[in-house]
Amino acid sequence: MGILCLIMRSEVLDQATYDAGGWHPPRGLYLQPHEIDYRPIDTDWNFKNVRSSFWRLYINDRGGAWLSLADGQPYVLTADHVHLVPAWVRFSCHNQRRLKSLYVHFDVIGLPGIILRRMFEAPLQVGVTQWFEPMLGALRRRPWRTGGDPLAGLCQVQALIYLAVARAWLRLTPAQARACRDFLHQAHGLAPVLQHIEAHLDQSLHNAVLARLCYLSRDHFVRRFHQQMGQTPASYVRERRISRAAELLLLSPYNIKQIASATGFSDRFHFTRVFAKLMGAAPAAYRRTERILSGKRARPG
């Protein structure tokens, strides 16, 4: 299958404020697309207990596909609508007729998973496809397969996911939106730490080193991080390592030992234990399911 793998670090801007010069977006909050394709799916699109560290966007041209959520409730992927499946949501997928599906896998960077999980606990529909034109028309032509301009394709994917997530954000309750704004304001001082963690997931990330980036003592840093992020530095780093590992399992040719090393784990066995505990499946099983779900052949573990 023709796959456009997109890894992008957007411009990191200053703390969100309003002033005479306009609005400054929050520092370190951006969307990172990983993969897109537009392809047919058939009645074999049936997988159980799927859980991913990244978000999914689905747009189907016909009805017939649905998700079963962990509580047993069905979520129907209605045709010609834009659907988002937030990261860490567990579901099983089903399909009863052949259809074509445009999907995008992406991450929301800058808000920890623990906060996103509180705000987005289930899939949601964020609009009809006509609201997302003309980028959808261009993406359905699969420019990554037809020699289209890669920069234009990247911008179209970015436009699609930013608009979809913006519409999801507008559905938050006032309390949820306020909690998100408060987090972004409070976490401004931790931005250097969060950026350092993202750039050095293959290395040891001791609290003492991270504390120096904030000009704080180790103990003060740990308390402040837990207060503002809702989890300890070690828990946050572990989640980001597993998230990156899940991405590499799906998109890279590396074996599990190499991925363990690339995400800062001492050995394959430690990596496998931590990954299975968080994701509900061992790395090899996760890779097989995710790659088949995305229409790709599985790679050896």
Instruction: Specify if 132 maps to a domain.
Output: yes
Per-residue model confidence (pLDDT) at position 11: 33
Between 26 and 72, name the one with better pLDDT.
Answer: 72
Looking at the whole model, is its pTM more than 0.85? no
Instruction: Specify if 253 maps to a domain.
Output: yes
Same domain, 208 and 276: yes
Per-residue model confidence (pLDDT) at position 6: 37
Same domain, 166 and 216: no
* Helix intervals (H) in the chain: 113-119, 135-140, 150-169, 174-186, 191-199, 207-213, 218-229, 233-251, 256-262, 268-279, 283-293
Which domain covers residue 130, as residue numbers? 4-173
Tokens of 198: 């993202």
Confidence of residue 13 (pLDDT cuts 50, 70, 90): very low
Which of 15-19, 124-128, 129-133 has the largest mean confidence? 124-128
Instruction: Specify if 187 maps to a domain.
Output: no
Q: Among 123, 157, 173, where does a domain finish? A: 173
Tell me what the pLDDT averaged over the chain comes to: 84
Question: What whole-number distance in Å separates Cα of residue 10 and Cα of residue 123?
Answer: 25
Is the pLDDT score of 15 beyond 50? Answer: no
Low-confidence winner among 3-7, 23-27, 208-212 (lowest mean pLDDT)? 3-7
The stretch 248-258 carries a mean pLDDT of 92
Question: What share of the chain has pLDDT > 70, as a percent?
Answer: 86
Same domain, 115 and 78: yes
Per-residue model confidence (pLDDT) at position 227: 86
Same domain, 19 and 125: yes
Low-confidence winner among 84-98, 121-135, 286-300 (lowest mean pLDDT)? 286-300
Same domain, 148 and 238: no
Confidence of residue 204 (pLDDT cuts 50, 70, 90): very high
CB 10 within 8 A of CB 30: yes
Instruction: Specify if 150 maps to a domain.
Output: yes
Q: What is the CATH number of the domain that holds 64?
A: 2.60.120.10
Q: Other C-beta atoms within 10 Å of 147: how many?
A: 7
CB 44 within 8 A of CB 65: no
Looking at the structure of the chain, the number of domains it has is: 2
CB 126 within 8 A of CB 56: no
Between 267 and 183, name the one with better pLDDT.
Answer: 267
Same domain, 42 and 139: yes
Q: What is the CATH number of the domain that holds 238?
A: 1.10.10.60
Same domain, 126 and 85: yes
Instruction: Specify if 194 maps to a domain.
Output: no
Same domain, 118 and 205: no
Predicted confidence (pLDDT) per residue in 210-225, tens digit: 999 999 999 999 999 9
Per-residue model confidence (pLDDT) at position 301: 37
Same domain, 138 and 245: no
CB 27 within 8 A of CB 188: yes
Question: What whole-number distance in Å separates Cα of residue 257 and Cα of residue 156?
Answer: 35
Pairing status of strand 22-24 against strand 17-19: antiparallel
Instruction: Specify if 184 maps to a domain.
Output: no
Same domain, 139 and 212: no
Question: What whole-number distance in Å separates Cα of residue 226 and Cα of residue 68?
Answer: 34
